[in-house]
Structure 1
Amino acid sequence: MLFDLPSPDILYDALVARDDRYDGQAFVCVHSTGIFCRLTCPARKPLRENCTFRATVGECIEAGFRACKRCHPLQAAAQNDPVITDLLARLEDRPDHRWSEPDIARLGYDLSTVRRAFKRHFGMTFLEMARQRRLREGFETLALGGSVMTAQLDASFESPSAFRTAFAKLLGCAPSDLKSDGAMRATWIPTTLGDMIAISSSSHLHLLEFVDRKGLPAELQKMQAHTPGGLGIGRFAPAEQAASELDDYFAARSGRFETPLAMHGTDFYKRVWHALQTIPAGETRSYGDIARQIGQPTAVRAVARANGSNQIALMIPCHRVIGADGSLTGYAGGLWRKQRLIEIERDLKATQAAERRSIPA
């Protein structure tokens, strides 16, 4: 059981309002049609007496309901939007292109529609995503020993100052501040839910964050200031291991992370983070659950602060902590991403259960 579902009345109100707080956390099964949907489905709303609510897609299917063809509950929500699908494909085909609003308009898309769709699903606009993609090209050039000028050209920025400004805004330092021989090195890791930055020493992973996390520049500046000689750029073995394990994770092949981690925080924070690591992939806990697990049942707010201070995303799975009522609550990487992470882990859990059932006794 991932969490106790809120009352059917609360979930029905969420269905009527298309409230995304429970999207992916609960599904509605409509008895009059035999179909199950996301709570954000745009279809006409069924009568209350025709609805039951279940926590997983698997439960809906086992009860004999078919997936809705409008909200496609078997897919990630963003994949249902043809505008997003088309623009993401174009971005992959032309990662070095300096995309602009006139480019989008020439494709026949309404600018405000595109902006809203990308903000809703990814927490950033398409143009912000395209710029981030170009910055990755420049970062990887620097990691291979290229000059700042070469990195700027590879990232298709119009001037050195524009590249430096964009780089510093995202990473909290100028590209020239990252040396190739640092004792701690920054690595850019692409994933299916957005690019991540990893900071590792030769023995441990110290930071793993999505690059669009608002607090990332400040975190990197702090790490830069406390690292003798400053941060470098490139991959140590822990970052290589992390990249490999993330590939398996996002492909729903494995939920295990064995990369050695360096946790920077108080003893209390570390106790919370260790408790987070005990939550199995495919399950969730509330802040109150974690507080009780560490023996301090009244420290719910402190647990929430520790959760938000975690600098090693996914491997210390703060995304598995939800509200006591089953809502997603806050996540620095964006609620859309938190929902998708939980969906990935549900798929993984279901796959592993099926594999176990197929093994002869």
Structure 2
Amino acid sequence: MLITQQKTINDYYQALLDRNSNYVGIFYVCVKTTSVFCIATCRARKPKLKNVVFYTTFKEALDSGYRPCKVCKPTENANEAPKQVIKAIELFKKRPKEKLSDFQLKENEISPELVRRWFKKNYGMTFQAFQRMYRINSAFNELKSGKKTTDIAFDSGYESLSGFGYMYKKFIGKSPKNSLYNNVILISRLTTPLGPMFVCATEDGICLLEFVDRKMLETEFKQLQKLLEAKIIAGENEHTLQAQQEITEYFNGQRKYFNVTLCTPGTDFQNSVWSCLKEIPYGETRTYQQQAIKLRKPKAIRAVASANGFNRIAIVIPCHRVIGKNGHLTGYGGGLERKKWLLEHETKNLNTNLVNLSSG
């Protein structure tokens, strides 16, 4: 859709000037003088307001004759990792116990520098560190299944037990011998039309689903590790894979409800508020006051709002469906523009023929 409301145009232009990541996927700015289009975080020199138009999808920008910017690469960065990064991850996952070297990447026409930069920016670690985390997660699961430490160490490419033990303790927090009853939090990255998200899970279920640019994300990671007495390491399990599938279906307009198992450490009150959030129907909204009344705590509006703010599982626990008493949109960890997009997305798909997968 071409944006025509002047206030929205001004807001989007300011977001472009600020390189505001909350607007990634919300709009695509097309520059009439160069015939290119960009995402909000583009580092290129900013065009004048009179020389731009805004669309809500990059397909509309392409259909209007604009071509993707070579600096911000909007068709890649607004949705998913660059093709070379995806290819590198796929190569590694085919043989996760073997180190994928820079030489091997080059043999497959993959730039090690590009992959390194992307992982540093999006995971805060190098690709080699990412590989080590995956191997340690695999070793952790094999230990729990009864496999011997010596066999695991050498199968994982380590030349000594001491080297394996050092790396294992660094990531898991305890030695292989003392970690059998430990838990770990696995973190994976998924892409959405509103920008990338991190999904975290233990063996009990999903414990975090947040946009990667959420300001409180680092604090949430620390809280989770403390509450669950577990370390966060890169990896996947059945819960993260199911979450990725269901979130993709949600954004494709094919899903109203979520079946993925959740793990929500918190106080009894917080969990009662989060359960109340899950009862808000798709395409509808509630106020904080309505939530408080439903919980039979009509005067606890601020406490309810605070508990909403501590929700670590976006979209699946739909705090985006809560609005102010006056009907205005209120605070949302992923940004108000994303909140607005999600509500409009649900309204648009409310009466369409969705694959109505029930919550069981």
Same fold (TM over 0.5): yes
The structure-2 alpha-carbon separation of the partners of 1:265 and 1:290, relative to structure 1 and needing over 3 Å to count, comes to: farther
Residue 129 of structure 2 corresponds to: 128
Residue 226 of structure 1 corresponds to: none
5 Å matches for 1:283-294? 291-292=288-289, 294=291
- Deviation string 1:279-304 (CA, Å, 9 cap, x unpaired) is 67899x9xxx8745533554587336
CA–CA separation in structure 2 for the residues paired with 1:321 and 1:125: 38
CA–CA separation in structure 2 for the residues paired with 1:86 and 1:274: 39
2:130 is paired with a residue of what secondary structure? helix
Contact 2:186–2:201 (8 Å) recurs in 1: yes
2:177 is paired with a residue of what secondary structure? helix
- Deviation string 1:147-171 (CA, Å, 9 cap, x unpaired) is 2222323332343344344334434
Contact 2:153–2:164 (8 Å) recurs in 1: yes
5 Å matches for 1:55-134? 56-57=56-57, 61=60, 65=64, 68-70=67-69, 71=72, 73-77=74-78, 79=80, 81=82, 83-98=84-99, 109=111, 111=113, 114-134=115-135
CA–CA separation in structure 1 for the residues paired with 2:241 and 2:200: 13
**Which residue of 234, 243, 246 corresponds with 1:246?**
243
Residue 334 of structure 2 corresponds to: 328
**Percent of aligned positions with the same letter in both sequences?**
26
Specify the code of the residue in structure 2 equivalent to 1:149.
T
CA–CA separation in structure 2 for the residues paired with 1:38 and 1:313: 23
The structure-2 alpha-carbon separation of the partners of 1:105 and 1:75, relative to structure 1 and needing over 3 Å to count, comes to: closer
CA–CA separation in structure 2 for the residues paired with 1:77 and 1:165: 38
How many equivalent pairs are there?
A: 311
Contact 2:30–2:38 (8 Å) recurs in 1: yes
User: What is the RMSD of the two structures over their aligned residues, measured on CA atoms?
Assistant: 5.4
Residue 218 of structure 1 corresponds to: 226
Contact 2:116–2:127 (8 Å) recurs in 1: yes
Residue 159 of structure 1 corresponds to: 160
Are 1:356 and 2:340 matched, yes or no?
no
CA–CA separation in structure 2 for the residues paired with 1:48 and 1:114: 34
CA–CA separation in structure 1 for the residues paired with 2:264 and 2:110: 48
Contact 1:164–1:175 (8 Å) recurs in 2: yes
Residue 231 of structure 1 corresponds to: none
- Deviation string 1:139-189 (CA, Å, 9 cap, x unpaired) is 34234431222232333234334434433443444433454xx7x977969
- In the superposition, the TM-score normalised over structure 2's length comes to 0.60
**How far 1:48 moved relative to its partner?**
0.3
Residue 203 of structure 2 corresponds to: 199
**How far 1:61 moved relative to its partner?**
2.7
5 Å matches for 1:311-322? 315-316=316-317
Contact 1:134–1:156 (8 Å) recurs in 2: no
Residue 257 of structure 2 corresponds to: 256
Residue 22 of structure 1 corresponds to: 23
Which consecutive unaligned segments of at least 5 residues does structure 1 have?
224-238, 330-338
Specify the code of the residue in structure 1 equivalent to 2:15.
A
